[in-house]
A and B are shown apart, each in its own frame.
Chain A
Amino acid sequence: MSKFAFSSFSDAMNMDGHGIYVWIVFALFFIALSTSFFIFNLLIKKYKKRIK
């Protein structure tokens, strides 16, 4: 692994003005993956309840 690519934490967040794009994509992935896990687990619970 190479060394830390930024000089500070705020520099890492800003990414020379490109941070906004990178962090929006990060948020999109986080939301999409966690929502998928949540929805399918919810559906499993729902159908299990129906079978019971």
Chain B
Amino acid sequence: MLREILIIVIKKFIHQFASPKTYFYQVNRLYPWLLYISLSIYVFAIIWGLFFTPKDFVQGHSYRIIYFHVPASFIAQSLYAAMAISSAVFLIWRVKLAAYLARSIAPVGAMVTFIALASGSIWGIPTWGTWWEWDARITSTLILFIMYLGLISLHNSFNNFDKADKLFSYLSIIGFVQIPIIKKSVDWWSSLHQPASITISDKPSIDPSMLYPLFMAMIGFAGLVACIVILSSKVQIYIREKNKNWVKDYV
């Protein structure tokens, strides 16, 4: 009995929140709060990390790029995971909002992956003496960037949104195999890239004075990226739902 009630409540919640109209009005309310809070956290974390953390014994001041590079790399992979989950929700439950979200994550994911690659390359010059090396972590991240671009091109090449969404979803789920490969690349292959400094199972190998601003930078950056995804999803809603009365009324 309790199980049935729970299923009905969950279904009702999904049904209600999965409506583009409800989503649109909810994110409109959330957006300014998320933007200003994330921006404050990010600016504070960057000032803390760039000016108030001690110099690294090995890398000197160049290690301060960590406050940009690590959040970008982490979010680039998380966005792909979010895109694959949205695609699965769309294919399993036929929730069209999930397809809109998956499509709106792709350009943001490409942008974040690009800045992760670029910041890593710039960091490589003083640290490794080269801006590029065909090493496992860098190459797998480059493949992630190409996958984002490929998925965007694929979706744009169809006139029929339904067909485009289906193919986009299948391919993004298949491409998810890349995420554990990126994560484990530094352990599986000999690599110039250092192993992960922060893991769930072990104590971080980074000093707390450098770690706290890094965590804050990751939270702030995640919030800012979420704001960009919200804007991108609003663009998708305007494109796909332009003939709906609620959109016309809102505009």
Listed from nearest, the 6 A-B pairs whose CB atoms lie closest are A40-B231, A15-B61, A47-B238, A18-B62, A18-B61, A51-B251
Task: Tell me the A27-52 residues at the B interface (CB within 8 Å).
Answer: 28-29, 32-33, 36-37, 40-41, 43-44, 47-48, 50-52
Q: Contacts A5-B52, A21-B123 known; A44 to B234 CB distance under 8 Å? A: yes
| Chain B residue with Cβ nearest A19 | B61
Contact A44 B61 (CB under 8 A): no
Select one of B51, B122, B231, B248 contacting A12, CB under 8 A: B51
| Chain A residue with Cβ nearest B210 | A2
Contact B238 A24 (CB under 8 A): no
- Residues of chain A within 8 A (CB-CB) of B238 are 44, 47-48, 51
Q: Main SS of the interface on chain A?
A: helix
State the CA gap A19–B60 with chains docked (Å): 11
**Can you list 17 A-B pairs, Cβ within 8 angstroms, ordered by A?**
A2-B53, A2-B54, A5-B55, A18-B61, A21-B62, A22-B65, A25-B68, A25-B123, A26-B46, A29-B68, A29-B72, A29-B115, A37-B228, A40-B231, A44-B235, A51-B238, A51-B248
Contact B52 A2 (CB under 8 A): yes
Contact A5 B235 (CB under 8 A): no
Q: Contacts A2-B53, A4-B51, A16-B60 known; A47 to B242 CB distance under 8 Å? A: yes
- Contact count band on B: 35 or more
Q: Contacts A4-B52, A47-B238 known; A40 to B228 CB distance under 8 Å? A: yes
Contact B60 A18 (CB under 8 A): yes
- Residues of chain B within 8 A (CB-CB) of A50 are 242
- Contact count band on A: 20 to 34
Select one of B53, B69, B108, B122 contacting A24, CB under 8 A: B122
Contact A26 B61 (CB under 8 A): no
- Residues of chain B within 8 A (CB-CB) of A18 are 60-62, 64, 126
Residues of B within 8 A of A (CB): 46, 48, 50-55, 60-62, 64-65, 68-69, 72, 108, 111, 114-115, 118-119, 122-123, 125-126, 209, 224, 227-228, 231-232, 234-235, 238-239, 242, 247-248, 251
State the CA gap A37–B251 with chains docked (Å): 20
- Residues of chain B within 8 A (CB-CB) of A26 are 46, 50, 68
| Chain B residue with Cβ nearest A15 | B61
- Residues of chain B within 8 A (CB-CB) of A41 are 231
Contact B118 A1 (CB under 8 A): no
State the CA gap A36–B234 with chains docked (Å): 14
User: A25, A47, A51: which has the most chain B beta carbons within 10 Å?
Assistant: A25
- Residues of chain B within 8 A (CB-CB) of A12 are 50-51
- Residues of chain A within 8 A (CB-CB) of B62 are 15, 18, 21-22
| Chain A residue with Cβ nearest B119 | A25
